[in-house]
């Protein structure tokens, strides 16, 4: 599988949405970076798309254009989607924490949660503060006991409602795509 830098991914996704040449200034504004950065990345980006039988060309006065067969563009788009390996965002981490808590019967040690999620116990504590409202919204109580851990109290139906809500509001397109492709090992 091809690996892409974050900047390559952003630029390529943007270029894949366009059929006409795009001014470098427009790309820079859309990606919230400088024109100089786009210019600097241009040559490497051209080398990155070459294995996909695509061409990145600079048309003086008109901008950058990604050219090639639509099938090859789809292959590039799929490679970009499947190569997405970034650290989970705070939102992703909080969804995972809520899901883990909802799956447990009884107390779960915060130290064990932190270890399982590869984050610091202090991060778990901060995230618990942030997701407490999610539980209250579904008539659930997130109870914490110092030295013992945390647990979710409430009716099972409310726990399931919260899980369904998290799935529908927090699943991103990439995760759903991986799910459809049967790659359950890369799901959060």
Residues 2-37: tens digit of each pLDDT: 677 778 888 898 898 888 999 999 998 888 888 888
- Residues 24-70 pLDDT 10s: 999 988 888 888 888 888 998 999 999 999 999 999 989 999 999 99
* pLDDT over 90 percentage in the chain: 39
Tell me what the mean pLDDT of segment 115-127 comes to.
82
The reply to whether 90-186 shares the fold of 6-82 is yes
Q: Is residue 104 pLDDT above 70, yes or no?
A: yes
pLDDT at 9: 84
Please, which contacts does 10-17 make with residues 24 or more away whose CB atoms are closer than 8 Å? 11/38, 11/41, 11/45, 12/45, 12/48, 12/49, 12/66, 12/76, 12/80, 13/77, 13/80, 15/56, 15/64, 15/65, 15/66, 16/66, 16/73, 16/76, 16/77, 16/80
Listed by start position, the domains of the chain span 6-82, 90-186
- For the cut 70, the answer to whether the pLDDT of residue 146 exceeds it is yes
Is residue 109's pLDDT more than 80? yes
The tokens describing 147, both together, are: 């030295």
Domain range 6-82, CATH class: mainly alpha
pLDDT given at position 10:
85
Q: Which CATH architecture has domain 90-186?
A: Orthogonal Bundle (1.10)
pTM: 0.49
Q: What is the pLDDT of residue 117?
A: 77
pLDDT higher than threshold 60 for residue 188: no
């Amino acid at each position: 599988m091809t690996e892409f830098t974050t900047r390559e991914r952003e630029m390529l996704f943007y270029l894949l949405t366009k059929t006409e040449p795009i001014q470098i200034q427009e790309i820079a504004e859309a990606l919230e970076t400088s024109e100089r950065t786009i210019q600097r990345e241009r040559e490497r980006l051209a080398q990155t798309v070459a294995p996909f039988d695509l061409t990145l060309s600079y048309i003086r006065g008109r901008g950058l254009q990604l050219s090639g067969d639509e099938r090859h563009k789809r292959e590039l788009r799929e490679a970009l989607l499947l190569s997405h390996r970034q650290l989970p965002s705070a939102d992703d981490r909080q969804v995972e924490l809520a899901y883990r808590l909802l799956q447990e019967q009884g107390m779960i040690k915060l130290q064990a949660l932190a270890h399982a999620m590869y984050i610091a116990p202090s991060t778990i504590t901060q995230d618990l503060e942030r997701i407490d409202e999610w539980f209250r919204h579904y008539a659930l109580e997130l109870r914490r006991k110092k030295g013992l851990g945390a647990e979710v109290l409430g009716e099972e139906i409310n726990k399931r409602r919260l899980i369904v809500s998290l799935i529908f509001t927090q699943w991103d397109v990439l995760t759903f795509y991986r799910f459809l492709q049967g790659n359950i090992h890369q799901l959060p």
